Each structure stands twice: as C-alpha cells, then as structure tokens.
C-alpha cells in the first residue's frame, strides 16, 4: 500500500511505476485550449506527475479524438517526452456512427488502438483501458485482441474503467485461463459522495492485484468549495453536470464540509482529494486541472495528509454505505 506523501507507486501487482496523481485530459479541447493544455502538461511533468490519462473519444466538443491529437503534438515537441511519461488511453465508447465504431469487438479494439497510436504520434500505449464493459462481447474475444496488440508491441498493459466487481472478477479469470496477465488497473468514480466502489469494485480489484485509479475525485467540482463559489458567482465546473445534479441531495453535508475545511485552513479541493488518496487500494487519483494552480493544489493534497481526526469528521459527514467496508458485511446486521 503506497504512503500518501510519496509521488510514485506501482500500478497494482505490475512492475510499472506511476505517479499517484494522474493528469486527466477530459477538459482538453473545449474547456482548456491547446496552448494552455501544453502549459499544464509541462507544469505537471516538471513536478513529477508523469502519468497522463486520455481516451479516444475525448475532445468531442471539437471532434472525437481531438484530445489525443493535442497530446500527440505536445509529445512531438520534445523527443524525450514520450519516454518520460506513462501514457494511458481508452477504447470502447463510440468514436463514429457506424455499427463497428464502438464497443469491445476484436475488430474495434485493434482498429481503435491503431487510430489512437496515429493521433498520439507514438509507437506504443502504456495502459490501454476498456472504457466500460460491453455485455455483448465474450472475454475471450477481448483478450484475443489485447494479446495481439501486446505481442505486436503496441500496448504494454491493459486496464478497465467503470467495471463492476463481478465484471473485474469474470474478466480477470478469463485472462488467467489464457495464461495472460490480464488487468493492471480499474478506473472508477470514487469520492466522498460516491462510496459505492467500497462495496464490490475496490475489494475485487485488491483481491486480484488490480490497481485502482479514481476519476472525478471531487465529483465534478462538487467537493471543491461549490457552495462558496456559487455565492461569489465564480462557479464554473461545479455549476454544471454531475456536481449540479448532486448538490441538492448533499447540500447540508457540503455546508458542514466547507466549514470543516475552514477549520482545517485547507482548500476544499485539497481536502477532498487528500481523502481519496488515503483510501485502501487506491493507486492514483485522476485530476482534471484547468490551471497550473490546480496542479499545485493537488500536489499539496498528496504531500499534506489529513490526520485521523479530520478523516473521522469526514466519515461522519459523508458516511460509508451501511456499516462500511466491503459487501456483504456492509449491510449485514
């Protein structure tokens, strides 16, 4: 289990080292324009954040694949960058209108990987993640495609995203039957207001030695001081999407949370991210910064862990499901 303050750790049971903060790029193209995106990548890499996460459909506000193209141009500006970073992308969500332009068929996995390689301007992808489960495809077909790409040197490790606990188990058991390493990581939505992964997903990942990557650790900005920002008229991300829809349900807890952050003299975003980084089984948190200052705040969250008293107060405000811990003990009396 990594210590919160250390910047790098191994990805699950693999020998690959990744930074505990992963630079997510879902905002690149539309919310963060290319010059600012390049500056963010430079800033993060200079501070040791060398894990970059993207997806083949990111950049859809311009066109699907645009974010990978932006990253490819950034990589091309310095020959040493590609060896300096751990590059992750995803496959599975639709990237076109055709019947074979999405999902996890062998045809789509292989063609999508080759398209990602072209856009990224690289010969290999370090972590190739299935963006979500595809119930219409058997695991043997998926693993046949991933084994082919691995043998060709086009990918190094395979990961999943948004899988259920039973999905991780069935996927990994299929890989083991084939004598393949299988999943190196699972990327899931997990934060103070979304603790469902503690029931099944995180325990399954831990049992199989699969590293857990957390996306939206601040629930779309909800845990970044959303109420205070709204009162000042400065809310951006926290005034839309996931954060906006969850705010009414969690308003009272959020009021107490922001008061707690004042008591701790910490920025709410740092507190929310710091909590995620303390969770058992969590390898890395995927952050979606829009400014270098956001990157620096995430680094403070890593470097300055919350003490036991603060963690207990957060548990009281955002309690785990049932009795806490994995299923079924979480709900058994």
DSSP letter assigned to residue 218: T
Q: Is 157 a catalytic residue?
A: no
> What CA dihedral angle connects 86, 110, 159 and 81, to 10 degrees?
0
Cβ proximity of 283 and 20 under 8 Å:
yes
Indicate the angle between helix axes 165-177 and 139-151, nearest 10 degrees.
60
Label the pairing between strands 155-161 and 21-24.
unpaired
Other Cβ atoms less than 10 A from the Cβ of 308: the count is 8
Enumerate helices (H) and strands (E) in the chain, giving the number of each: 12, 10
| Measured distance CA(77)–CA(138) in Å, rounded | 41
Residue closest to 55 by CA, chosen among 173, 213, 242, 222 = 213
Give the CA radius of gyration of the chain: 19
CA–chain centroid gap for 275, Å, is 15
Q: How many angstroms separate the most distant Cα atoms in the chain?
A: 59
3-state SS assignment for residue 195? coil
Cβ proximity of 198 and 326 under 8 Å:
yes
Q: Would you name the residues annotated as active-site residues?
A: 58
């Amino acid at each position: 289990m990594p210590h919160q303050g250390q910047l790098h750790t191994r990805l699950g049971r693999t020998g690959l080292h990744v930074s505990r903060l992963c630079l997510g790029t879902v905002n690149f193209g539309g919310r963060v324009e290319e010059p600012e995106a390049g500056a963010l990548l430079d800033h993060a890499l200079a501070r040791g954040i060398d894990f970059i996460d993207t997806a083949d459909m990111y950049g859809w506000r311009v066109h699907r694949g645009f974010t990978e193209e932006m990253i490819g141009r950034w990589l091309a500006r310095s020959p040493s960058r590609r060896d300096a970073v751990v590059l992750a992308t995803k496959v599975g969500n639709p990237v076109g209108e055709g019947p074979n332009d999405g999902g996890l068929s062998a045809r789509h996995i292989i063609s999508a990987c080759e398209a990602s390689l072209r856009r990224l301007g690289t010969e290999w992808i370090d972590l190739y993640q299935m963006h979500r489960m595809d119930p219409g495809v058997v695991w043997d077909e998926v693993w046949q495609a991933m084994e082919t790409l691995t043998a060709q040197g086009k990918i190094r490790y395979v990961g999943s995203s948004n899988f259920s606990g039973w999905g991780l188990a069935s996927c990994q058991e299929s890989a083991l039957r084939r004598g393949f390493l299988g999943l190196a990581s699972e990327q899931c939505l997990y934060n103070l207001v979304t603790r469902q992964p503690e029931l099944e997903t995180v325990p399954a990942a831990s049992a199989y030695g699969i590293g857990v990557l957390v996306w939206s650790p601040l629930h779309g900005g909800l845990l970044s001081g959303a109420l205070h920002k709204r009162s000042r008229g400065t809310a951006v991300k926290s005034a839309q999407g996931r954060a906006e829809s969850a705010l009414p349900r969690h308003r009272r807890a959020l009021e107490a949370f922001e008061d707690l952050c004042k008591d701790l003299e910490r920025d709410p975003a740092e507190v929310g991210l710091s909590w995620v980084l303390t969770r058992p089984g969590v390898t890395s948190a995927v952050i979606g910064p829009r400014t270098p200052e956001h990157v620096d705040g995430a680094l403070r969250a890593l470097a300055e862990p919350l003490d036991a008293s603060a963690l207990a107060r957060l548990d009281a405000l955002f309690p785990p499901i049932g009795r806490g811990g994995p299923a079924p003990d979480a709900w058994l009396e």
